[in-house]
Amino acid sequence: MTAPQIPNLFKVPELKEKILFTLLCLLIYRLGAHIATPGVNVQALADFLKNAGQGTLFSLYDLFAGGGFSRATVFALGIMPYISASIVFQLAAPVFPVVEKMQRDEEGRKTLTQWTRYLTVLLCLFQSYGYALFAEQLPGAVAHPGWAFRMTTVLTLSTGGVFVMWLGEQITERGIGNGASLLIFFSIVERIWPETLRTIEALRAGSLTIPVLLIVVGIMVLVVAGTVAVTVAARRIPIQIPRKVMGRGRIREGQKTFIPLRINSSGVMPIIFAQSLIIVPGTIATFSGNATLKHMAEYFNVTSPLYVLTNAVLIIFFAYFYTSIIFNPVDLAENLKKQGGFIPGVKPGAATADYIDDVLSRITLPGAVFLTVVAMLPIVVSTVLNMPFGFGGTALLIVVGVALDTVQQVQQHLLLRHYDGFMRGGGAGSGTSRVRFRR
């Protein structure tokens, strides 16, 4: 979206309402993310997660909850129960043909949406009870542990989680962009200001020098530019749709179009899956107190070569795995065949499916390698420059992906408004010719 288009955002009444509604929902979400859960010592919980909780599942969860997890707020669970429930049914489609069939028709998708909501409620109940047990184990975190505290926490956090799910759905239906993604987006972006203040304090204290800061800023610019380029990059497979007689003299003209296969079709999911899996040993060792487990977890320290190698392999594996789940070349080939379309030089049917699968496999590799580089970048920069560097990996890909998707939706609204005005103006006046659009 270019600068001249920005003033036009609030000139379109429908778009203005959508933007204002989205901002109102996000404001409510951020306000709720600062209301503490009753009975929890927020400072004790934050101190633990800042020290012993680093590199565990809790630190990753706190990233998506916008710090609400470490602050023990009513929105401590964030949107993650809903995201987890959605992923469960998405992964269930290739395993259970019934779920895959339901995803293809409107009524089936509505049923799956209801099932996702029910599973979200169950996950909220389960996670909030686990959160209460987790808080009780920390010294000084809970003033009056027991069943009364647990039930209060379950009721508070579960209600907050369901309310956040409702907010996300309202943004999707009545606002701009995907609601769940925007909630995570603003949870991550909120951390920019505190990190900026820490950088200024480090400069004043002398622990960070100007040359090092300039190097870091340069790396940030390059990473953002590379992430944007890879996110929008796609391999275009040409498609030819022949001329066809539709009946009663209607003729559908031949068309030349293309299928865009993105280099990074899986998005940020491979990094999330890989990190969630690789930090499990450290999380178990932290809370078990077992000396053997702690010794084993040291091999998976963030700076260890084994961690880097394992994380890279897992990211590449999950990139292929998740792409195979969300993209089905056989269904695409069948749809092309039904419409009479074909890829020039490739036979319709099974040969088309094999061709698309081969292209997808080849372009997924550079996308997976890029994801690995982005995920490993904070570790490399922190080790080389001897300073903390939290810019990169999961947060960066989410921010860039959601921002591009939201901007694209805004541009579509502006484009539709432009064409709508053009067509209304085109029909007015006696000397204006009408343009006939053929479908």
Q: What is the pLDDT of residue 270?
A: 85
Q: What is the pLDDT of residue 333?
A: 86
Q: What is the pLDDT of residue 375?
A: 81
The superfamily in CATH containing domain 207-418 is: SecY subunit domain (1.10.3370.10)
Cβ contacts of residue 331 below 8 Å, gap of 6+?
Answer: none
CATH architecture classification, 1-190:
Orthogonal Bundle (1.10)
Burial of 438 (0-12, 13-18, 19+ CB in 10 A): exposed
Q: What is the pLDDT of residue 114?
A: 92
Sign of dihedral through CA atoms 135, 137, 143, 147?
positive
Q: What is the pLDDT of residue 243?
A: 67
Domain-by-domain residue ranges, the chain? 1-190, 207-418
- pLDDT (tens digit per residue) in 340-371: 778 888 888 888 889 989 999 999 999 899 88
Under-50 pLDDT residues of the chain: 3-4, 422-423, 426-439
Q: Which of 276, 164, 234 is nearest to 404 (CA)?
A: 234
CA–CA distance, 265 with 319 (Å, rounded to integer): 8
Q: Residue 273 in contact with residue 380, Cβ under 8 Å?
A: no
Task: Look at residue 257 and give its three-state secondary structure.
Answer: strand
236-273 burial, b at 16+ Cβ within 10 Å, e below that, comes to: ebebebeeeeeeeeeeeeeeeeebebbbbbbbbbbbbb
The partner residues of 258 in beta bridges, in order of sequence, read 238
CA–CA distance, 168 with 79 (Å, rounded to integer): 8
Length of the chain: 439
